[in-house]
Each structure stands twice: as C-alpha cells, then as structure tokens.
Amino acid sequence: MAQMVKTAGIDVSKSWLDVAIWPTREEIRVSRDAAGLALLIAWLGEREVARIGLEASGGYEREALDTLQAGGFEVALLNALRVRCFAKAKGRLAKNDRVDARTVAQFTAVMVEQVPPQRRRDLDELVELLTYRRQLKGWCTDCTNQLEHLRDRALRKTVAQRQAAFERDLAKIDTKLAALIAEHDDWSALARRLRTVPGVGPVVSASLVALLPELGTLSRRAIASLVGLAPFPRIKSGGRLTIAATARANATSRVAARPCVMRSIWLRCPPDTTTPPSPLSPTGWPARNPRSSSRPACASFWSR
C-alpha cells in the first residue's frame, strides 16, 4: 500500500499561526512565539508531515521558517500571488486564515516539486541596512518636497535640520554597508564583479547581493524571469508584460540599467543637431521611446 505524503500549509499573522495538513485536512492554531512553535513542531512530527509551505508576510514568517528548518522540516517560502492564482483556479474565492492555510498546504503538495533551499540568515544584517537606507532616501525626498512649498522660516529650518540629519545617517549606513561587504570574501568578489558593469555602483551591487542571492546559480532565462525582466504574453490584450517575483530586485536592476540604456542609445543613434526634432516617425505615427524596451533588455543582459 502506498504511503500518503502529507504537506502542511501555514497562514502567518502577527499573533497566530493557522496550520492545515493536506490531504487529511487536520487543522490547528498556535501562538507565534517559542511555546507555540514548540507545540507546532511536535504536532507536525506526530503526523509525519513531509513538507511545509508558508507565504512571505512582511517578516513575521522568519521566526517560524527558521525554527521549522532547524527542526528538520523542509520549508518552502511561497509567492503569495502564485498561491492566490492557484486558489482562483480551484474556484476557491473565500479568504480567511483557515482557508488560506488549507490553500497553502494544497499548493505545496501540487506545485512545490524541488527541495526548498535553506534561508540565507547570513544576509539578514545586510538586508536590514539596505531597507533602512531605502527608508532614509524616502525621508530625504519628503523633506525636499516639503521645502519646495514651505514659506514659514521656522518650519523650513526644522525641515532642513531634519533632512541634514537624515543625510548624515545615510552616509553612516553607506559606510556600514561597505564594511559589511568587505568582511565577506564571497560578497566582496560578487560586488566587485557587478561593479564592472556600467551603471552598477556600491548601492546597486549591495542590493543585488542581498536581495538576489540566486544571482549566479540560475540560468539567464530563469534569473530574468525571477527579477521580472522577461516579457510574458498577455492573453487578452495581445501585449507583453513583466512580472517580478522580487519587486525590490526588479526596481534595483531597472535603475542600474538606465545608464546602460542611455549609452546604448547614444552609440546607436547619436543626436542629429542639424535638423529640428520631430515627434513623429517616418510612418506618421508617434516615434517609440527606445528607453521603454531597451532598459529591460539591458538589465536582463547584465543580470545574467
């Protein structure tokens, strides 16, 4: 008699973990703390669960993921969009914690074919520094926008002081990022290799090292699809779109590709200074902006 393979799905919230097993449909809810995770490991072990799936949930899933992997389970961190599309394909429109856990368990059983990799805990500090740096850049931009419209001297002085403080913190974060990458030989070697590409500087290289650990281990087509640089057919409209599995890496790669695009356009089509510019192509239609297609192509090229 064939042995039943059981998979578990976990819906992660701030205080609770809702767990379901497929295909037996057993369910349990535990608290998201050390005691609850210990109870969960014992409960899953008694039922001989082979693999566990859970969705990324803004960082709340890290403790559960690390604890379950340390307990010897195969744990897959799933893309929430793919899980939701799977539920819609099943005709399952209801959405609550228990239903989501059951959907994740069934998705893990059907769609997760390979052994999930271990989470890169060594990248946590680098990711936190980059996240805080991105927030600081946003706050600096907010201050700049406020200064454009404020007229009160006291308010302008307050905002200017706050912006200066943010910029000092930004410089400190950049120093910490450089020091942290220099401490790891593999990170440093990868960062140096990435920076040989035009448009890739210290921040972009650090972002790719932290947010795209698959870089260098996947094929050129797989990495382009993961980052969201590969076009896919849009069935209804006939156009093409890109879908990113890692949105931050997608944004980083597109920003880095901008100088490559401008240089490529300049070399292929140098500006004609003898005739006035025309917004129309020779066919009478508006000329297509080469940046719209060149930037994903360049970013896809150097992400290989």
Q: Is residue 177 part of a domain?
A: yes
Q: Is residue 116 part of a domain?
A: no
Same domain (yes/no): 141, 177 = yes
Q: Is residue 242 part of a domain?
A: yes
Same domain (yes/no): 176, 91 = no
Neighbours of 78 (CB within 10 A): 22
Same domain (yes/no): 140, 74 = no
Query: Domain boundary residue among 85, 111, 137?
Result: 111
pTM above 0.85, yes or no: no
5-45 per-position pLDDT tens digit? 899 999 999 999 999 999 999 999 999 999 999 999 999 99
Same domain (yes/no): 75, 135 = no
Q: Is residue 15 part of a domain?
A: yes
What order of strands is seen across the sheet that includes strand 74-78? Answer: 27-31, 16-22, 6-12, 49-55, 74-78
Q: Is residue 70 part of a domain?
A: yes
pLDDT at 133: 95
Query: Domain boundary residue among 52, 84, 111?
Result: 111
Would you say residue 282 has pLDDT above 50?
A: no
Q: Write down the mean pLDDT value for the chain.
A: 80
Same domain (yes/no): 104, 127 = no
Same domain (yes/no): 96, 157 = no
Same domain (yes/no): 154, 207 = no
**Domain coverage including residue 131:** 122-183
Same domain (yes/no): 130, 188 = no
Please report where in the chains the tokens 């893309």 appear, as a residue: 79
Which conformational region is residue 179 in: left (phi greater than 0), alpha (psi within -120 to 50 degrees), or beta?
Answer: alpha
Same domain (yes/no): 58, 85 = yes
Same domain (yes/no): 193, 214 = yes
Which conformational region is residue 199 in: left (phi greater than 0), alpha (psi within -120 to 50 degrees), or beta?
Answer: left
- Tell me the one-letter amino acid at 9: G
Please report where in the chains the tokens 């001989």 appear, as a residue: 48
Q: Is residue 161 part of a domain?
A: yes
Total domains, the chain: 3
Q: Where are the beta strands (DSSP E) in the chain?
A: 6-12, 16-22, 27-31, 49-55, 74-78, 232-233, 240-241
CATH code of the domain covering residue 85: 3.30.420.140
pLDDT at 233: 64
Report d(CA 165, CA 274) in Å as an integer: 48
Same domain (yes/no): 160, 222 = no
186-217 per-position pLDDT tens digit? 999 999 998 998 888 899 999 989 988 888 78
Same domain (yes/no): 126, 233 = no
Which conformational region is residue 25 in: left (phi greater than 0), alpha (psi within -120 to 50 degrees), or beta?
Answer: left
What are the structure tokens assigned to 257, written together? 């590709």
Q: Is residue 278 part of a domain?
A: no
Q: Is residue 294 part of a domain?
A: yes
Q: Where are the beta strands (DSSP E) in 32-86?
A: 49-55, 74-78
Neighbours of 127 (CB within 10 A): 16
Query: Domain boundary residue among 63, 90, 111?
Result: 111
pLDDT at 197: 86
Report d(CA 13, CA 3) in Å as an integer: 32
